[in-house]
């Protein structure tokens, strides 16, 4: 991140990014680090955690499954030790969930998607807000939702349901915490290039008996700009939202998607 792209962010902000050791979360963490933030991330994959510790020894790192409240509580104890407080929570952790018709999705698959994507957001906000209050009105929460949180998504009902719910959670928190100056927004990434999207397209292609390239083109045809977005595009929006330029932006579901019109 070049210096002119810092949006006036004050160095030293203490930022927690869930699922921040790899994928989109890692790009977001790197972007905040590049503007002088102090970083703590969590993940559940031992190899990912080990790699992150090696590459970013100055960051705090926790092993935490956000669907488990006791593990989230332990993570926030780690955050207090590594950062001494918290200014920004990026509620990023989530899974794609199963692909298939609603009659084929099992109750266990449904519950797992809800537990990670929605309950995890609650658990993290529950533990973060007391810390964020200590630095209000300079603190904020960013919830990572999806364009599936404003569109229907056939064959991905658990995922879409959680992403819609995250927006309701975000807007309610914005109203609840706004009088204290704590801002809460949601970023709705679209079709984000990378391994995770490749897996999603593969699963959907298989479920609909199409070739991968044909399914990929179907996705692109539903984007006004006819291209995927990058994890860095998502990170740039996160930086803007916590910056002085975004000081009056709260309660907003903001799509970073090239204008996805359908899924």
- Write out pLDDT tens, residues 73-132: 999 999 999 999 999 999 999 999 999 999 999 999 999 999 999 999 999 999 999 999
Please confirm, yes or no, whether 212 is among the known catalytic residues: no
For residues 24 and 141, give the distance between their C-alpha atoms in angstroms, rounded to a whole number. Answer: 17
Q: How confident is the model at residue 50 (pLDDT cuts 50, 70, 90)?
A: very high
Query: Is residue 222 annotated as part of the catalytic site, yes or no?
Result: no
Q: How confident is the model at residue 3 (pLDDT cuts 50, 70, 90)?
A: very low
Q: Above 70 in pLDDT, residue 1?
A: no
Look up the CATH number of the domain holding residue 118.
Answer: 3.40.50.720
Structural domain contains residue 244: yes
Helix (H) or strand (E) holding 30: helix 23-34
Sign for the pseudo-dihedral over CA of 199, 160, 142, 244: positive
pLDDT of residue 6: 65
| pTM of the shown model | 0.94
**Catalytic: which of 38, 123, 153, 163?**
163
Alpha carbon 61 to its chain centroid, in Å, reads 17
Distance between alpha carbon 51 and the CA centroid of its chain, in Å?
20
Phi, psi at residue 217, to the nearest 5°?
Answer: -65, -35
Q: Please give the structure tokens belonging to residue 246.
A: 């975004």
Indicate whether 237 belongs to any domain. Answer: yes
Can you tell me which residue has the tokens 């669907």? 67
**pLDDT above 70 covers what percent of the chain?**
98
Rounded Cα distance between 169 and 191, Å, is 23
- Is residue 246 a part of any domain in this protein? yes
Higher pLDDT, 6 or 184: 184
Token code pair at residue 25: 């979360």
Query: pLDDT value at position 4?
Result: 41
Q: What integer best gives the mean pLDDT of the chain?
A: 95
The rounded distance, in Å, linking the Cα atoms of 137 and 100 is 44
Does a structural domain hold residue 4? no
Q: Which of 123, 153, 159, 219 is catalytic?
A: 159
User: Token pair 């984007």 is at which residue?
Assistant: 223
Q: How many domains does the chain have?
A: 1
**Residue given tokens 């910056």 in the structure block:** 243
CB of 39 closer than 8 Å to CB of 101: no
Whole-number Å distance between alpha carbons of 245 and 157: 36
Distance CA 208, CA 91 (A): 32
HSE, CB side, 13 Å, CA atoms: give it for residue 85.
13
Confirm whether 127 is domain-assigned.
yes
153: containing domain:
12-192+230-256
pLDDT at 2: 46
| In-domain check, residue 198 | no
Confidence of residue 10 (pLDDT cuts 50, 70, 90): confident
Whether 222 is in a domain gets the answer no
Average pLDDT over residues 11-34: 97
What is the pLDDT averaged over residues 222-238?
97
Q: Is 204 among the domain residues? A: no
């Amino acid at each position: 991140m070049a210096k002119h792209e810092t949006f006036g962010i004050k160095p030293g902000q203490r930022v927690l990014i869930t699922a921040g050791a790899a994928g989109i979360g890692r790009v977001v963490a790197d972007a905040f680090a590049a503007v002088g933030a102090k970083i703590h991330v969590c993940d559940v994959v031992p190899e990912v955690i080990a790699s992150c510790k090696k590459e970013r020894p100055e960051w705090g790192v926790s092993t935490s499954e956000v669907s488990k409240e006791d593990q989230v509580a332990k993570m926030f104890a780690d955050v207090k030790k590594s950062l001494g407080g918290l200014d920004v929570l990026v509620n990023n952790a989530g899974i794609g969930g199963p692909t298939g018709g609603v009659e084929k999705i099992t109750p266990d698959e449904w519950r797992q998607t809800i537990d990670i994507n929605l309950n995890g957001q609650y658990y993290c906000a529950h533990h973060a807000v007391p810390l964020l209050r200590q630095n209000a009105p300079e603190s904020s929460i960013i919830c990572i939702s999806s364009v599936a949180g404003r569109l229907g998504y056939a064959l991905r009902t658990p995922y879409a349901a959680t992403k819609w719910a995250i927006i309701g959670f975000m807007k309610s928190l914005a109203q609840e915490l706004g009088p204290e100056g704590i801002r809460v927004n949601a970023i709705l990434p679209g079709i984000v290039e990378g391994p995770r999207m490749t897996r999603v397209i593969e699963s959907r292609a298989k479920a609909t008996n199409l070739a991968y390239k044909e399914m990929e083109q179907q996705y692109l045809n539903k984007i006004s700009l006819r291209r995927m977005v990058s994890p860095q595009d998502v990170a740039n929006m996160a930086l803007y939202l916590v910056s002085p330029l975004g000081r009056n932006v709260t309660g907003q579901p903001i799509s970073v998607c090239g204008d996805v019109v359908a899924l």
